[in-house]
Amino acid sequence: RRSHLAAVLLCLLGYSSLGMAVDRSKFRTCSQTSFCRRHRENHSSRLYQYRLDLQSIHFHVMEKNSSEADKASLWKSLSKRILGHGGADDADPYVQGPPPTLTGLLHNTAPETSTGKEETLHWSVHAMADGLVRMRITETGMPARVTYDELILTADAMAPAEHALWIRPEEHSGVLSQVVAQDQVSNHMALQYGDANDQHGMLLLIRLDPFAVYLYRESDLNAGPIVSMGVADMMHFEVRRPKDGEAAKEEEEIAPEEKEEETEENPEKEIVGYWEDGLAIYADGTREERKEVKEEEHRHLTETELDRDGLWEESFGSHHDSKPYGPMSVGIDISFPRSSHVFGLPEHASSLELKATLGERAHYSDPYRLYNLDVFEYELDETMALYGYVPLVVSQSVATGTCGVFWFNPTETFVDVMSDGSDNGKTTHWISESGIIDTFLLPGPTPGDMYRQYAILTGTAPVPPMFSLGYHQCRWNYKDERDVYQVHSKFEELDYPYDVLWLDIEHTDGKRYFTWDENLFPHPAEMQQKLASQGRRMVTIIDPHIKRDDGYPIHKEATSKGLYIKDKDGKKDYDGWCWPGSSSYLDFTNSKVRSWWADQFGYNKYQGSTSTLFTWNDMNEPSVFNGPEVTMQKDLRNLDGVEQREWHNLYGILFQRATGEGQIRRNQPDEDVRPFVLTRSFFAGSQRYGAIWTGDNAAEWSHLEIASPMLLSLNVAALSFVGADVGGFFGNTDAELMTRWMQAGAYQPFFRGHAHHDSNRREPWLFGDETMVRLRRAAMARYALLPFWYTVFREAEATGMPVMRTMWMQYPQVESLFATEDQYMIGSCLLVKPVTAPNVVQSTVQFPIVDTWYDVDTMKVISASGKGEKAVATITVKSDIDKIPVYQRGGSVIPRKLRLRRSAMLMKNDPYTLYVALDKDEVASGNLYMDDEESFGYGRRGEFAEASFSADLKNGSISNAVHVGPGWVPIVDGLKSHRMVERIVIMGVKKSPKTIAGGEGGTIDFEYDSTSKVLVLRKPLVSALEPWQITIG
């Protein structure tokens, strides 16, 4: 049977290359999803009208200097009196972070409720340091719904506000009257909170009936709120209730029609497998045909109709969801007054700016869907869900600055975006299948402030090992060790830099992960060691599906220990289909399972692995070829008995987390190697665990064009270490497209070339010598900038700011740049405009004239002019096949390494060249971060240093100030010779100096080009690890 299936698969391998088009019959829309259909466009609004009970409000005060024990005791006492039980843990064992500042009860005052009974909800507000505020709404009278603070939030970094004041309707009417009409003051209360010295002072205004909240900055109350919730009366919370007779009858009436679909299209044919698109493979070598997509699955409801279809059970195609707990959806409207630009909600193959999904100006007809899925051959300009999910929306406005909302709910979610086209702002409507209403408001007001606040909640990206910032060469699949050595040798022969060679699923023994095909890869450790001796690493793929084979030790042990996800009854191990065929899936929500998985990376268990082997986590949405929407059924259970619908979107991040822990845990006493793990699926906080790529793109110009918006959207969500596969995964690329993609990829954080097994081989030398030279030049530009990339990643870890930045992150007051998605910044210094269309010889670049700009190739200043600091000069520049437009911002200093090497490791001790771009005042500054580039020493032992370069040509000086970490202080003198500056290039110098002195050699040789206005200092004999000053006379 196995050999027959293999033969069938071989016959079908060419299928995916025949054309790019998603099978829409496999994926639900809002109209095919009961909870979204039920609550979209106010269809259920008459069932949900909320009033905050003023008499139930309690203000919780913490003593500033009390011990942790005193704080816990006080909160427990208050909780017992207010909530009627033993404490916060008893009330909601899942919540972490600062305790609430205000608590109360929300009453549903609708004449008719969804349960037909009185509905009451718990409401709490948690005022936090740095202006953050959290609002949670939960059920009363029953066990808390499962939430995942422990797995996602960095609770240790979250602190309460240092002071808070509850303003009742009858008190401090002066404050309330500033923001509320006098006749409405009695219907409002407020919470003032902030940090010491009134920093980050905020005002949370609360409307009692109907319930709504508004967040103001105290420094500018008259400007109005920066974000509001519930103003459009779209809040709903489906409380749990027993399935009554009427509901059962309704489902019985619906069920026969739905269950007719459960019959297979060809029941007489034997199914021997499934392909990644979810279609069946039959024993006769044929495959299931795609079904025609029905235009309208459900009739459009009027505003007065209620949709009860799918409340208690639901079907999609042949798959049935038992929904044992019935309807549990939650949602609310979140508005950004006076803002016309909102961003975020990755991952979608759509524009950077979120476009309207409702209203006359709607660009899309369906909401943005957030549900991690393996969407085979995804299409562009769509709101369809893709591989990852970050429920963060960021608003950027000249009037209100930068602010964000983090909707902390990992269940399937739809988000509508609405705008009336006026200055009244943007409104988003969030509808989640389950969970609770748990929102964090991030007040900004600058991009840097907001990303610092978001980092408090979900953490920052650690500095990756330097090799991972180099070029990665991948293919499905390099066939055997001989193929690996031939590819590696050709890179060596051509002096083409690369750092990592990847192996896809075919390197394993029959798709059994942690194994090697002994015929194809008989000496894996030796292979890794040979490549490592020349500065290279390797990556192997390890997916979450485990082949159900009792002779496979991983499966046998996981089964015996009971580590797998269960069926809907919680009894049998779930059986799904993926690359190995019949597969089981580990429960990564369980800490013991994650620990067990990490242990599998030990050298004694992962035979043939070494410290230079790293990991690629694919298919971790998770992908299940024969499951609903090519994933798991929602009513499956984890080991705690919790349904998959509650944690589906966390599976990818937890899988990557456990894999990274495995790489750390495998370290021997003499090893201290940082992990590198690439993932396809992600959630908020994935920045802490490694890199992400945009999945199975295509070798088409449109996919190159969409790469920048998709990567920028990921960075908006603080996911910095991201990339799109160079060349496109599906299909074949020609020399021009490959050249443009390599040029673009060199300026994206994660830089990998990859291809499908049906695609032609596309190693750089296969496009001819002329193209190879262009591709190598693009890669060399990347390698020269590795010190700069490394420094920007260090900044991201320290501050939370993204690495690949939208133009508005650098220029938050230049509104004409807010929606720009075809150019971007790397850090604050480089402006990049990839060429994404064929036959291009010129490009249009937008230059903010508040700064001076220099072409990185010619080093000449760009002549840009305009009126006012918010002006933008739109300039046509040269961009023929040898040129990608890249510009250095005036006022910056960028470190490079210019000696051609074949890998990042071989560049480790090479000297630096500093590129100084003077601003209009002839001043520039910049940093260089240094450590050993591979270990945890920088964080654990303070083994690092940071150089701060400053140039002031008016005063004739260039200097360096150094901060050396405590771990490097004893050895810094021995390191100085390996961190030398061999050249300083200064752009924008108005005239040639007479003398230049400094460093150890006294007079410094220099050259000045009066045409380009570039001054070059040669061999200044200074180290980046010591302070120095050079005088220009």
Strand 957-964 with 980-987, pairing: unpaired
Region of 1022 on the Ramachandran plot (φ > 0 left; ψ -120 to 50 alpha; else beta)? beta
Q: How many CB atoms lie within 10 A of CB 292?
A: 8
Mean pLDDT value across residues 750-775? 98
- The C-alpha atoms of residue 681 and residue 693 are separated, in whole angstroms, by 9
Lowest mean pLDDT among 13-22, 199-208, 255-264, 430-439: 255-264
- Residue 7 makes CB contacts below 8 A (sequence gap 6+) with none
What pLDDT was estimated at residue 266?
Answer: 61
What pLDDT was estimated at residue 278?
Answer: 75
Three-state DSSP state, 874? strand
Q: How many helices (H) and strands (E) does the chain have?
A: 21, 53
Mean pLDDT value across residues 640-663? 98
Three-state DSSP state, 403? strand
Mean pLDDT value across residues 3-30? 59
Mean pLDDT value across residues 842-852? 97
Q: Which two tokens stand for residue 864?
A: 């840009």
- The C-alpha atoms of residue 730 and residue 699 are separated, in whole angstroms, by 6
Q: Which two tokens stand for residue 535?
A: 């500065």
Residue 855 has pLDDT above 50, yes or no: yes
Mean pLDDT value across residues 259-272? 57
Q: Which two tokens stand for residue 413?
A: 């979610």
> Are 349 and 695 contacting, i.e. CB atoms less than 8 angstroms apart?
no
> Are 872 and 866 contacting, i.e. CB atoms less than 8 angstroms apart?
yes
Which residue, 757, 985, 1013, is CA-closest to 860? Answer: 1013
Q: Tell me the pLDDT of the chain averaged across its residues.
A: 91
Of all residues in the chain, what percent are helix, strand and coil, respectively (each to 5)?
25, 25, 45
Sign of CA dihedral 936, 940, 944, 950: positive
pLDDT single digits (tens) 438-452: 999 999 999 999 999
Per-residue pLDDT band at 869 (split at 50, 70, 90): confident
**Residues facing 103 on adjacent strands:** 58, 124
DSSP 8-state code for residue 249: H
H helices of 67-140, in order, are 68-83, 88-91
Per-residue pLDDT band at 247 (split at 50, 70, 90): low
- The C-alpha atoms of residue 855 and residue 885 are separated, in whole angstroms, by 8
* Backbone angles phi and psi of 740, in degrees to 5: -65, -35
Residue 164 has pLDDT above 60, yes or no: yes
Three-state DSSP state, 546? strand
Lowest mean pLDDT among 79-93, 482-496, 610-624, 878-892: 79-93
What pLDDT was estimated at residue 62?
Answer: 61
- Residue 116 makes CB contacts below 8 A (sequence gap 6+) with none
> Are 471 and 803 contacting, i.e. CB atoms less than 8 angstroms apart?
no
Per-residue pLDDT band at 277 (split at 50, 70, 90): confident
- 450 to 442, 445, 687: CA distances (angstroms): 6, 7, 16
Q: How much is the pTM? A: 0.94
Interior CA angle at 299 toward 293 and 305, to 5°?
A: 150
Residue 216 has pLDDT above 70, yes or no: yes
Q: How many CB atoms lie within 10 A of CB 813?
A: 13
Place of tokens 């060596």: 492
The CA-to-CA distance between both ends of the chain, in Å, stands at 83
pLDDT single digits (tens) 919-930: 999 999 999 999
pLDDT single digits (tens) 600-617: 999 999 999 999 999 999
Region of 594 on the Ramachandran plot (φ > 0 left; ψ -120 to 50 alpha; else beta)? alpha
Mean pLDDT value across residues 667-678? 97
Per-residue pLDDT band at 1001 (split at 50, 70, 90): low
User: Could you give the residue numbers annotated as active site?
Assistant: 618, 621, 696
> Are 869 and 905 contacting, i.e. CB atoms less than 8 angstroms apart?
no
Lowest mean pLDDT among 177-186, 483-492, 1004-1013: 177-186
Residue 967 has pLDDT above 70, yes or no: yes
- The C-alpha atoms of residue 496 and residue 490 are separated, in whole angstroms, by 8
What pLDDT was estimated at residue 422?
Answer: 66
Radius of gyration of the chain (CA): 29
What pLDDT was estimated at residue 252?
Answer: 52
Q: Which residues of 553-565 are buried (b: 16+ CB within 10 A; e: fewer)?
A: ebbeebbeeebbb
- The C-alpha atoms of residue 5 and residue 127 are separated, in whole angstroms, by 59
Q: How many CB atoms lie within 10 A of CB 222?
A: 7
- The C-alpha atoms of residue 757 and residue 742 are separated, in whole angstroms, by 20
- The C-alpha atoms of residue 1033 and residue 1003 are separated, in whole angstroms, by 11
- The C-alpha atoms of residue 401 and residue 448 are separated, in whole angstroms, by 11
- The C-alpha atoms of residue 585 and residue 91 are separated, in whole angstroms, by 32
Q: Which residues of 912-936 are buried (b: 16+ CB within 10 A; e: fewer)?
A: bbbbbbbbeebbbebbbbbbbbbbb
pLDDT single digits (tens) 69-120: 344 444 444 444 444 433 333 468 999 999 999 999 999 999 999 999 999 9
- Residue 747 makes CB contacts below 8 A (sequence gap 6+) with 782, 826, 830, 832, 834, 884, 886
Place of tokens 């293919």: 475
Mean pLDDT value across residues 218-244? 93
Instruction: Compare 289 and 13 and report the one with higher pLDDT.
Output: 289
Alpha carbon 423 to its chain centroid, in Å, reads: 30
Residue 888 has pLDDT above 80, yes or no: yes
